[in-house]
């Protein structure tokens, strides 16, 4: 029986052309070999499984080839190439720095560098995981790396560039390898599948590529795992079952229910996901990615940054048209907070359910907020009916027996333009339906003297100082966590009620006077709770702030001794100390 070789080794690139997803680096290396401008040391950096060691081996083989091609590729026929292919080359040495990280190992390597190559032009040392070297080993390596013999070349590879000391970095030519894209990995998996006689759905290979997180070696290992699980014909469902991946159908379904504010179906889908054995945080992360993809899908120009198949990309674009950007942004914020607090929650399922219910309520909240907006002035005279002057002078009736005037969501001193000079009357039934929704101006270009406005009635309930203090303290309690500095400043002095409903309050902080946002919020709170729209609020900066309390032992003693001088006498006679 023939020995099995894993796909990561069997299909490991042997030329620069077959390296996947690193075209910029391979082109640079080929040009350096072709033009004979090779540095004495190279440093290949990047995440796992992206081709660092593979490129180092290909480069070592190419620069030692006796008959290189026009594109700087090795011939694979000369003595140097054949000995390298059989792992019998005396001029190309591979060292694992993870297990050979001591000073003695590096000194042994330095001794070997002094011996010139037997076959070929260069003696090449490939040091993998170089960041694992000890500081002493790095220092022992410095001199040789800076001024090696003309025939010596060093190729260092690492996944953690930040752990390498700067003196090593400055002596190397650095190449940063990037994560391989999902499209490149999927294309390579299709090539491997065709070579191995495996039939696989494109969606299945795409999920493997996403699961590998940009590492081609991991993707090939997962491919071998799927062949072992499902044989030479596997589907998308086989992949999500074996690799513990949550089906994207769940995300599309639960997003649909969230858009419909369907709480019961949302909880049922979540229960189904948990019953299938998926962790709650795994679902949270997946839902966040799904919402992010929907946000990206709203613009045709950003569709290309989604690492999904073409069919799935079209499906995202269709669902994205049903979502408003505000909904997606708020849902992402709630999802992110749920992810951050999930680990600290004692009841994780309840925490997850509350977050989903908050997202589901966004649609209703948005509709309610839009219905409470200030009526917009419509410029069209053809679609909006006109109102007669007689109807302007009379309040609009919502029912024959109970005349009402709609309250404004804004301060009463702001008047809302209602009507202009009309041309045709409107029947009473139509007026009831439209009076609270949209308001028309028939001729906006006429003079101001011809326009009429309706002003909301002002509230003028009387109040005394005790009521004012009660409302004042209620504002402090309600906003203590929102604006601690402002509430602390206004709580130090009691408000003063003057004539004409003028309220003054003292503060020793000049910044409070310029805090218009909080002052206006306080004023609106007072108007609302006291039911009096004529209230005025005036801050006054005092020159002598309140005396601060005693905190240290010495301050406490001095304060007590000021009232009881005998304490100071006892302290002096007994030679006591207040500070330690």
Query: Among 324-333, 361-370, 424-433, 547-556, whose mean pLDDT is lowest?
Result: 424-433
DSSP state of 532: B
CATH class of 248-365: mainly alpha
Band the pLDDT of 370: cuts 50, 70, 90.
very low
The residue ranges of DSSP E strands in 55-100, in sequence order, are 92-96
Looking at residue 177, its pLDDT comes to 92
Looking at residue 548, its pLDDT comes to 56
pTM of the model as a whole: 0.57
CA end-to-end span of the chain, whole Å? 85
Looking at residue 531, its pLDDT comes to 86
Percent of the chain with pLDDT over 70: 82
CATH topology assigned to domain 182-243: Helicase, Ruva Protein; domain 3 (1.10.8)
Q: Which helix (H) or strand (E) holds 433?
A: helix 428-434
Band the pLDDT of 292: cuts 50, 70, 90.
very high
Q: What is the residue-averaged pLDDT of the chain?
A: 80
Does residue 551 surpass a pLDDT of 70? no
Q: What contacts 24+ positions apart, CB below 8 Å, involve 487-494? A: 490/522, 492/546, 493/542, 493/546, 494/469
Q: What is the mean pLDDT of residues 198-209?
A: 88
Query: Among 14-28, 314-328, 445-459, whose mean pLDDT is lowest?
Result: 445-459
Q: What is the mean pLDDT of residues 38-48?
A: 91
Query: Among 29-38, 297-306, 418-427, 515-524, whose mean pLDDT is lowest?
Result: 418-427
- Enter the CATH code of domain 465-541: 3.30.300
In angstroms, the CA 284 to CA 157 distance is 36
Q: List the chain domain ranges.
A: 7-176, 182-243, 248-365, 465-541
In angstroms, the CA 325 to CA 227 distance is 42
CB of 127 closer than 8 Å to CB of 57: no
pLDDT in tens, 444-469: 444 444 444 444 467 878 888 888 88
Query: CATH number of the domain at 7-176, out of 3.40.718.10, 1.10.340.70, 3.40.50.10440, 3.40.50.300?
Result: 3.40.50.300
Q: What is the mean pLDDT of residues 475-482?
A: 86
12 three-class SS = coil
Alpha-carbon dihedral sign for residues 10, 14, 20, 22: positive
Looking at residue 426, its pLDDT comes to 44
Does residue 168 surpass a pLDDT of 80? yes
Angle at 338 between CA 335 and CA 340, to 5 degrees: 110
In angstroms, the CA 240 to CA 222 distance is 12
Looking at residue 415, its pLDDT comes to 42
Looking at residue 109, its pLDDT comes to 87
pLDDT in tens, 269-288: 999 889 888 888 889 999 99
Q: Is 92 exposed, middle or buried (0-12, 13-18, 19+ CB in 10 A)?
A: buried
Looking at residue 374, its pLDDT comes to 41
In angstroms, the CA 44 to CA 198 distance is 34
Q: What is the mean pLDDT of residues 317-335?
A: 90
Query: Among 60-74, 339-353, 386-400, 497-511, whose mean pLDDT is lowest?
Result: 386-400
CB of 101 closer than 8 Å to CB of 130: no
Q: What is the mean pLDDT of residues 323-334?
A: 91
Does residue 378 surpass a pLDDT of 70? no
Band the pLDDT of 365: cuts 50, 70, 90.
low
Band the pLDDT of 434: cuts 50, 70, 90.
very low
Q: What is the mean pLDDT of residues 464-485?
A: 87
Looking at residue 395, its pLDDT comes to 45
Q: What is the mean pLDDT of residues 346-365?
A: 88
pLDDT in tens, 86-105: 888 888 888 888 888 888 88
């Amino acid at each position: 029986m023939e020995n099995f070789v894993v796909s990561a080794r069997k299909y490991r690139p042997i030329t620069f052309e077959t390296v996947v997803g690193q075209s910029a680096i391979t082109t640079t290396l080929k040009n350096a070999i072709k033009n004979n401008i090779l540095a004495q040391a190279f440093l290949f950096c990047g995440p796992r499984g992206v081709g660092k060691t593979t490129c180092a081996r290909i480069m070592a083989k190419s620069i030692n080839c006796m008959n290189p091609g026009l594109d700087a590729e090795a011939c694979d026929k000369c003595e140097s190439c054949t000995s390298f292919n059989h792992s019998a080359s005396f001029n190309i040495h591979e060292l694992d720095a993870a297990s050979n990280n001591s000073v003695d190992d590096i000194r042994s390597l330095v001794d070997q560098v002094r011996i010139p190559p037997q076959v070929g032009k260069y003696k090449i040392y490939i040091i993998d995981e170089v960041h694992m070297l000890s500081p002493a080993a790095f220092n022992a390596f410095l001199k040789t790396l800076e001024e090696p013999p003309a025939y010596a070349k060093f190729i260092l590879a690492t996944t953690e560039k930040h752990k390498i000391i700067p003196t090593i970095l400055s002596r190397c030519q650095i190449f940063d390898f990037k994560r391989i894209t999902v499209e490149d990995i999927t294309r390579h998996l299709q090539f491997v599948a065709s070579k191995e006689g495996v039939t696989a759905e494109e969606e299945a290979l795409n999920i493997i590529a996403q699961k590998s997180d940009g590492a081609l070696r991991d993707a090939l290992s997962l491919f071998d795992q799927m062949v072992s699980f499902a044989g030479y014909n596997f589907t998308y469902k086989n992949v999500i079952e074996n690799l513990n991946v949550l089906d994207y159908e769940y995300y599309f379904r639960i997003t649909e229910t969230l858009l419909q504010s369907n709480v019961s179906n949302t909880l049922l889908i979540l229960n189904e996901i948990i019953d299938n054995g998926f962790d709650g945080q795994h679902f949270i992360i997946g839902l966040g990615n799904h919402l992010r993809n929907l946000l990206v899908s709203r613009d045709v120009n950003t569709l290309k940054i989604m690492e999904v198949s073409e069919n799935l990309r079209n499906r995202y674009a269709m669902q994205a048209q049903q979502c408003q950007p505000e909904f997606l942004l708020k849902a992402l914020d709630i999802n992110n907070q749920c992810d951050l607090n999930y680990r600290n929650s004692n009841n994780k399922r309840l925490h997850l359910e509350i977050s989903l219910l908050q997202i589901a309520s966004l649609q209703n909240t948005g509709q309610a907020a839009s219905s409470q907006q200030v009526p917009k002035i419509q410029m069209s005279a053809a679609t909006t009916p006109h109102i007669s002057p007689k109807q302007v002078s009379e309040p609009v009736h919502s029912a024959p027996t109970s005349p009402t005037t709609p309250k404004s969501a804004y301060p009463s001193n702001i008047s809302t333009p209602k009507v202009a000079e009309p041309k045709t009357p409107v029947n009473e039934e139509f007026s009831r339906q439209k009076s609270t929704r949209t308001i028309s101006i028939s001729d906006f270009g006429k003079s101001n003297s011809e326009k009429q406005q309706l002003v909301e009635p002002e509230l003028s309930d009387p109040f005394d100082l005790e009521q004012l203090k009660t409302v004042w303290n209620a504002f402090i309690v309600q906003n203590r966590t929102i604006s601690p500095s402002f509430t602390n400043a206004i709580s130090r002095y009691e408000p003063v009620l003057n004539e004409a409903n003028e309220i003054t309050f003292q503060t020793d902080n000049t910044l409070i006077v310029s805090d218009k946002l909080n002052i206006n919020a306080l004023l609106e709170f007072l108007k609302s709770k006291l039911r009096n729209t004529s209230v005025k609020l005036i801050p006054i900066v005092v020159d002598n702030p309140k005396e601060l309390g005693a905190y240290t032992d010495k301050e406490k003693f001095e304060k007590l001794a000021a009232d009881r001088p005998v304490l100071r006498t006892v302290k002096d006679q007994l030679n006591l100390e207040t500070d330690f």
